[in-house]
Amino acid sequence: MLVSVVPFEEEHYKVLSTLENENELDIWNDIHRNDSVHVMFNRTKSSWLMPLFETLHMKPELMFNDVQQLLDQEEAVFRAQARSGSPRGIQDSFYSYTQLSDWLNQMAAAYPQLAKLQSIGKTYENRDIWLIKLTSNSGAATKKTAFLDFGIHAREWISPATGAYIINELLTKYASGGDAKTILDSWELHIVPVLNPDGYEYSHTRDRMWRKNRKVVSGTCVGVDLNRNFGYKWNTGGSSSSACADTFHGGSPMSENEAKAMENYMTPRQWTTYLTFHSYGQWWFTNWGYTTVDPPQYALLKQKSAIGANAIKSVNGRSYTIGSSAQILYVASGGSEDWTRGTLNILHSYCLELPPTGGTGFIAPVSEIKKTGAETYVGVVAFLKSF
């Protein structure tokens, strides 16, 4: 079952974190003070969890009595699509890792003047971590550089789908001019559509709610939370040392193949901006996740975020909240945007949490691919054009 609770003091944060670390529940969205936090747990635990939340005055409310029913409905849509025999486009389906890999290769072959595809590393299960570099041969002599990654958490399917949407828009619309041409004539975009291929594939084939990668950590525990594994201020709060926990930070900073692949690719190069895309909640976070202290040039970071967020809102009316994640939510160390800011010194390092703010959460309907993709593309374009 999926239940909404409202934490409003530090004790509530500790209770939720402890329950998650002990695998009593699964926190879906980011823990936010005085706002709805969505927690999933087995119905057999409701007899003690619901009274606990009531006693703590956390206003527990049932959102979905049967999450499995949501998963079954999602699976039924995929089966119906498969039975129809009609080809499923990149904007009409949540592609598996293999389908996405094939599509990237097709796009790189179809647009050789604009796209170059390479593997920047291998996962624990030996899958390629694909990076597609998008830029034109014309325009500025010295181009600005952006690194964008998607799908660091396996179950956040709308993230890789949005990354693919952005790639598709830029490549297919370049020839007709407009924003696609403006961006690719002035920027090099280095895009990783799925940073966590093993976890993403596992979420498609075995466990839809899987979050981490798939490295075997111990006899019974599998996976590291990649967004707690990055090396700047690693393990200083908001992550778990328990190997079975969803927020397990790994045995050491940058221990995971996926983090190392980013490190090896990004470190030798100069970057104008870094964007990482998660779901869900509709947040545009600046760096610092590890501390509630203002990040350097905080006013400028919020100003840039607002340009993107306002453009997003202009499409479908959906609002994003702006600020540092530690100030708005709670401290979480080991995030990629803190590492790109703190270690690589990329001032403009941001994390976007894509829609929704509630509803079915991670289990977004296929119709969200175009809706979220379109507004995010507009927001990213406006953000990039502001440099």
Q: Which active-site residues does the annotation give?
A: 353
196-222 CB burial, b ≥16 within 10 A, e <16: bbbbbbbbbeeebbbbbbbbebeeeeb
Single-letter amino acid code for the residue at 249: H
Residues 6 or more apart from 168 whose CB is under 8 A from it?
Answer: 90, 91, 107
Measured torsion, CA atoms of residues 307, 313, 319, 321, in degrees rounded to the nearest 10: -10
Q: What is d(CA 51, CA 65) in angstroms, rounded to the nearest whole number?
A: 17
Beta pairing class for 37-40 and 115-122? unpaired
- Contacts of residue 127, defined as CB under 8 A and 6 or more positions apart, other chains included, come to 97, 197, 198, 201
DSSP per-residue letters across 104-170: HHHHHHH-TTTEEEEEEEE-TT--EEEEEEE--SSS-SS-EEEEEEE-SSTT-THHHHHHHHHHHHH
Distance CA 284, CA 280 (A): 11
